[in-house]
Amino acid sequence: MVKEILLGIAIAFTIFAALLGINVAPVVFLIGAFLLLSYIMENKGFYKTGKSIINPSSEVSFEDIGGQNTAISELKEALDFVVNREKIAQMGIRPIKGILLVGPPGTGKTLLAKAAAKYTNSSFIATSGSEFIEMYAGVGAQRVRHLFERARNLAKKEGKNSAIIFIDEIDILGTKRGAHESHHEYDQTLNQLLVEMDGIKEEEEVNILVIGATNRPDLLDPALLRPGRFDRQVLVDLPDKNGRLQILKIHTKNKPLGEDVNLEEIAESTFGFSGAHLENLCNEAAILALREGSSFISQRHFKEAIDKVILGERIDRKPSEEEIYRIAVHEAGHAIVGEKINPGSVAVVTIVPRGRALGFVRQKEKDDLLIYTKEELEKNIMVALGGTVAEVLLLGGRSTGSANDFEQAVDIAKKIVFTGLSNLGVVSKEDISKEKVSDEINRIVKDLEEEVTKILKENIEKLKEVAEILKREETISGDKLREILSRKGVLEEVSA
């Protein structure tokens, strides 16, 4: 409307100037250029977001999503306000305007948004926060307006009374105002989103619900999170063991599995995997079976796929004989210490290089822990130090292969200090001096290194034997390792 008024004034001024004999050719040229530019911007997609806006042809239901039972339950509760629109209106309840899905990458936030569209029988439009940020002033705000307009029009076209707008990576669009001092376009775009969400009313013909997804909720502007905008926050976390088992069952439905496949064992061995990781795991296992010409996927394909997902593809460069033995000693140290302090914890030991790792010990967790005791954290440090202590005992010195182990040990020791589990007691991270923290970390690591040294010295012959077997066979399964150690009398707990 404003543009039309300004255009009318410009035309009237041009005619008046022409009647006075003034040369109006430059003015006419500028008006024509303005009209052409406006036409291009409005009709050629300048204000429209990119190709990431979709109206998916294939529908996803909550039954297709595994490992997120709690998130699905919370989401359904919020979506029932959309489904039972007339009923909640009678109770005087305002409609929910926004739902924020918070969780690590790959946990299924986009799938949940698509399933929400099917559950509520809503039109669905998806986009990314990065689609709204441009160098041109006002473009991002115009794109926000266009997005909401398009959602309403799509719902009318499809004969539906509700539409869901899904904005992935909403932290890019909704970053705290003032964070970008030299670029006010971010703030203008966020302001327009706030205005559009405030404009969602109960009596509208089409009910708009905004679903945002982020793994950095701390970056979002407080105005976006207040009640009346994003009314609900749903945590979409990494799945636990039962959740991973559900996801594995979903992604193996269309795959030929061998009789030896034990999905529960695979779920136990994939602690920390997201849904995307597990989907990739099943795909990689099928690829490995195809490469071998096998007509079905066996358990060993899954186990190798786990290693590939964690560490990457095998590398072609072969270490020297001396390096191979050092790596074997190092991994044998990790494995023996791990089995000594956590019987039955080792899943596989290998010196086959993958990615940046020249060898590794994969451990399995019987239970997914949410909190850790001081003893459990100390055990993790001891396992991390097992490799370098083994090198010192058998080879007389350390190597750069222990760098990641030391980083891991120091990080865990810091956790012990800052959670009040060290000799320093409860400390303030902001007030305590770096020297005190460093001294306490050194003490923790040194004391535990002495315990690891004692364990490996008592089993020095067994350490040599496991290292020799690793050097010869390259990979030892956890069961085979326990059989070797039990036979040699290293672990009374295991043999019992």
Q: Tell me the CB-side half-sphere exposure of residue 112, using CA atoms within 13 A.
A: 33
98-102 sheet: strands from edge to edge? 123-128, 162-168, 207-214, 98-102, 230-235
Output DSSP code: residue 260: T
Q: Rounded to whole angstroms, how far apart are CA atoms 109 and 119?
A: 15
Using DSSP, state whether 228 is helix, strand or coil.
Answer: coil
CB-count burial class (<10 Å; 0-12, 13-18, 19+) for 102: buried
Residue with tokens 């899943």: 347
DSSP string for residues in 449-465: HHHHHHHHHHTHHHHHH
Output DSSP code: residue 132: G
CB-count burial class (<10 Å; 0-12, 13-18, 19+) for 167: buried
DSSP string for residues in 12-32: HHHHHHHHTT---HHHHHHHH
User: Measuring CA to CA, which residue among 276, 261, 298 is closest to residue 66?
Assistant: 276
Which one of 169, 284, 304, 331 is the catalytic residue? 331
User: Measuring CA to CA, which residue among 258, 270, 453, 441 is closest to residue 365?
Assistant: 270
In the structure encoding, which two tokens stand for residue 128, read together? 């990314």
User: Measuring CA to CA, which residue among 182, 488, 198 is closest to residue 190?
Assistant: 198
DSSP string for residues in 239-261: --HHHHHHHHHHHTTTS-B-TT-
Alpha helices in 252-400 (DSSP H): 263-268, 275-291, 299-311, 321-341, 374-395
In the structure encoding, which two tokens stand for residue 272, read together? 């920390």
Q: Rounded to whole angstroms, how far apart are CA atoms 37 and 16?
A: 25
In the structure encoding, which two tokens stand for residue 205, read together? 């013909």
Q: Rounded to whole angstroms, how far apart are CA atoms 149 and 152?
A: 5
Q: Rounded to whole angstroms, how far apart are CA atoms 331 and 415?
A: 25
Q: Rounded to whole angstroms, how far apart are CA atoms 271 and 365?
A: 7
268 is catalytic: no
In the structure encoding, which two tokens stand for residue 432, read together? 């305590």
Using DSSP, state whether 434 is helix, strand or coil.
Answer: helix
Report the length, in residues, of the chain.
496
Q: Going by DSSP bridges, is the β-strand pair 230-235/98-102 parallel, antiparallel, or unpaired?
A: parallel
Provide the residue type at 36 as one letter: L
- Plot region of 88 (φ>0 → left; ψ -120 to 50 → alpha; else → beta): alpha
Active-site residue list: 331
